[in-house]
Homo-oligomer: A and B are copies of this chain.
Amino acid sequence: MKEDLLKLIDILGTITFSISGVFAAMQKRLDIFGILIISFITSIGGGTLRDVLLGDLPVKWMRDIETPLIILVSAICAILFRHIIKNFQQTLFIFDSLGLGFFTVLGIQKGIKFGLNPGICVVLGTVTGCFGGVIRDILLNNIPLIFRREIYATACILGGIIYFILFQTHFPKEWLDVTVMLVVFMIRFLAVRYKLEMPDLYSEDKKGRP
């Protein structure tokens, strides 16, 4: 049952990441194949970079046609029904935050499987969760959003640290993944809900800001 739930979150995360790619690409007025490529890269970019760095190749989505198909179908639906989907921003945001938590945990666990240091596992979790969006923003010639003051990569990093703190305690191992996923989700959710931002390092010269 837990397996089914995680599978569902994986799929929902993949779908919302691909939809976020579609919307970002349409803002830059790309053509239909450009949109599909950006959607695909947003969805699989983080996991791909993680697997390349680990040397776990060919990358996962090449050996498993299911994920590319899910992305393709959801991207086409997002293009067709873009005017309707825009009304479900709140729902998409919740799925996106769940996906962020799920992919972060996935990256951490893969690092553990490869016998890597906890610090590196946190990096891998952050890469898996965030770098699809980073590559999307680079391709669209934007400064990657996660480097802005929003709590995004921060949620992954904090989640990763909490993972290894709980790991040291008597916390039941079988609930570790779901718990950390929800922690990342909650950090991200509360940050957006209450407009939390990272502290501004530049406040001293704020008046000069354009």
Contact = CB atoms under 8 A, between A and B. Distances in A.
Contact of A147 (B25, B48, B65, B116): B25
Nearest to A82: B201
B144 A143 contact: no
Nearest to A83: B204
Interface stretch (A52-60, A93-101, A162-170): A52-60
Interface centre among A34, A35, A54, A153 (most CB of B within 10 A): A34
Contact of A52 (B25, B33, B52, B141): B52
A134 B52 CA distance: 19
Interface in A117-158: 117, 119-120, 123, 134, 138-144, 146-150, 153-154, 157
Interface string A52-92: 11110111011101001100000000010000000000000
B148 A139 contact: no
A30 interface: yes
A26 interface: yes
A134 B139 contact: yes
A79 B141 CA distance: 27
Interface of A: 25-26, 28-35, 37-38, 48, 52-55, 57-59, 61-63, 65, 68-69, 79, 114, 116-117, 119-120, 123, 134, 138-144, 146-150, 153-154, 157, 197-199, 201-202
